Amino acid sequence: MTPQDVFDPDVARHLVQRIRSLEPDTRPRWGKMDVARMLAHCSVPYEFAFEDVHPRAGPVKRFFLRLLAKPTVTGPKPYRRSLPTTSAFRIADERDFGTERERLIAYVKRTAEEGEDAFDGREHPFFGALTADEWRTLLYKHLDHHLTQFGA
């Protein structure tokens, strides 16, 4: 899988169209999340990039995450369906569809506006500094996986 360029405004517009195609009652093709939780879940990687709301992994955990999880998250292979997720990505409480949709759209737009240079070397709380290409892959692959999950 070659991820599309989340830093390209045209790709961002296409992603926003896909997000806007979702409705509050859109059902998943697989998995257990409802659409509002999925939107909140998809905002987590953007929170990693833009917000300081997730604790940084300690050195031992970070070492193992870089070794075991980073190749899956930033590598070219698409995610398998129904993969287990780490606690930072679990959305247990009810979410408002409209709020979560607009929040995710704002993150997608902000990513394209800030551009590739702003992401090169940006810290990830689990993996440390990532290249712009690693951010590109991580952000696109995750969002595309879940939009596909919901038929968007």
User: Rounded to whole angstroms, how far apart are CA atoms 147 and 72?
Assistant: 19
| pLDDT tens per residue across span 93-152 | 999 999 999 999 999 999 999 999 999 999 999 999 999 999 999 999 999 999 999 999
Residue 43 and residue 104 in contact, taking contact as beta carbons nearer than 8 Å: yes
| Integer-rounded Cα radius of gyration of the chain | 15
Around Cβ 136, how many Cβ atoms within 10 Å? 22
What pTM was computed for the model?
0.92
CATH number for 9-77+99-149: choose from 3.10.450, 1.20.120, 3.40.50, 2.60.120.
1.20.120
Domain ranges of the chain: 9-77+99-149
